């Protein structure tokens, strides 16, 4: 009780001292205090205005990259071979018996090399109001393993279909298909307001795996089963950096089987912007 009484007494004295100080202030002190208060409020308003101006400026320069779904069709014969595979060399074998009795032989294996991507492409536009620059599209390093595992879930016997080393090699019947490891794809700039359409090549290895999954699935998979991802980095004209991740799903649109010994599937690559 004594402590509470002492505290109340101290509080009462503090209030009285403050009142005395206020009563003792001259008109000039009051004017200076009011000016200081208005100056402080003005500084707050100016700071807020600067923040809003920066936001408006950033919005005026901000790019925004988007991709539309794209539709493709794939056909194959009863051996699972697509028309482009016929461009591979035919298999040849030759043998020669040397003077010492040894046999020297050579075999030419049908092989198709894809040093560049572009069997399929995605359309990219900048719908923002500002130009995008220093654009880098980077395919996720785990996409090949992800697509391969999706194929193996449908047909475990495809264990040797895709082999990854310094290149990505596919074994289709007696054919060997060699593609490069996907690397980042770069563009210097993209114009704003969707003024121009840009083409992003899909890695050939992805296309081959997607087609193989569609061939093996017989339409018994959901649209979200086949998927892979892409990271996109770009800057606005001020140098401000943006990063997005795009997830692609494969959506089966139409399919036909055993039509004149030919099968076909029409599908969409559907992009979803995650970030």
Give the distance between the most distant pair of CA atoms in the chain.
125
With tokens 């390093």, the residue in question is: 141
With tokens 């391969």, the residue in question is: 148
Query: How do residues 164-212 score in pLDDT, each as one tens digit?
Result: 988 899 988 888 888 999 999 999 999 998 888 999 999 999 999 999 9
Average pLDDT over residues 52-66: 72
Distances 43 to 36, 47, 48, 166 between C-alpha atoms, Å: 10, 6, 9, 61
| Residues pairing with 131 in the sheet | none
- Nearest C-alpha neighbor of 167 from the set 188, 149, 181, 152: 181
What letter would DSSP give residue 86?
G
Cα distance between residue 60 and residue 58, in whole Å: 5
Query: How do residues 82-131 score in pLDDT, each as one tens digit?
Result: 888 765 554 444 545 556 656 565 555 566 666 666 788 999 999 999 99
In this prediction, residue 222 has a pLDDT band, given cuts at 50, 70 and 90, of confident
Average pLDDT over residues 43-65: 69
More confident: 227 or 98: 227
pTM: 0.73
More confident: 17 or 138: 138
Specify the pairing of strand 162-164 against strand 168-172: antiparallel
| Predicted pLDDT of residue 69 | 92
What is the pLDDT of the chain when averaged over all its residues? 79
Phi, psi of 221 (to 5 degrees): -125, 155
Percent of the chain, pLDDT > 90?
40
Query: How do residues 21-51 score in pLDDT, each as one tens digit?
Result: 556 666 666 676 677 777 777 777 666 666 6
- Determine how many CB atoms are found less than 10 A away from the CB of residue 47: 10
Cβ contact 233:170 at 8 Å: no
| Predicted pLDDT of residue 92 | 47
- What's the N-to-C CA distance of the chain in angstroms? 61
In this prediction, residue 224 has a pLDDT band, given cuts at 50, 70 and 90, of confident
Give kind and range of the element (H or E) at residue 267. Answer: strand 262-273
Cα distance between residue 157 and residue 80, in whole Å: 15
Cα distance between residue 94 and residue 152, in whole Å: 36
Cα distance between residue 163 and residue 169, in whole Å: 5
Distances 254 to 175, 208, 211, 213, 245 between C-alpha atoms, Å: 28, 19, 14, 15, 28
């Amino acid at each position: 009780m004594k402590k509470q009484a002492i505290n109340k007494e101290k509080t009462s004295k503090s209030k009285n001292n403050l009142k005395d100080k206020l009563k003792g202030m001259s008109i000039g002190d009051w004017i200076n205090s009011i000016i200081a208060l208005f100056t402080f409020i003005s500084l707050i308003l100016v700071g807020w205005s600067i923040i809003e101006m920066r936001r408006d400026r950033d919005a005026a320069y901000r790019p925004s990259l988007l991709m539309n779904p794209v539709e493709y069709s794939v056909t194959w014969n009863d051996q699972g071979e697509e028309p482009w595979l016929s461009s591979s060399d035919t298999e040849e074998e030759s043998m020669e018996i040397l003077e010492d009795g040894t046999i020297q032989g050579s075999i030419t294996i049908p092989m198709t090399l894809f040093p560049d991507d572009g069997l399929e492409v995605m359309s990219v536009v900048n719908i923002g109001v500002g130009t995008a620059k220093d654009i880098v599209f980077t395919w996720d390093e785990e996409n090949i393993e992800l697509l391969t595992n999706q194929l193996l879930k449908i047909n475990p016997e495809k264990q040797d279909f895709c082999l990854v080393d310094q290149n990505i090699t596919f074994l289709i019947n007696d054919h060997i298909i060699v593609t490069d490891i996907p690397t980042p794809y770069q563009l210097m700039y993209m114009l704003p307001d969707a003024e121009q359409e840009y083409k992003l090549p899909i890695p050939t290895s992805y296309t081959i795996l997607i087609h193989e999954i569609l061939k093996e699935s017989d339409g018994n998979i959901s649209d979200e089963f086949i998927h892979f991802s892409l990271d996109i980095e770009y800057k606005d004209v001020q140098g401000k950096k943006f990063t997005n991740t795009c997830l692609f799903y494969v959506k089966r649109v139409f399919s036909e089987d055993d039509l004149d010994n030919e099968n076909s599937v029409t599908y969409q690559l559907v992009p979803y912007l995650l970030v």
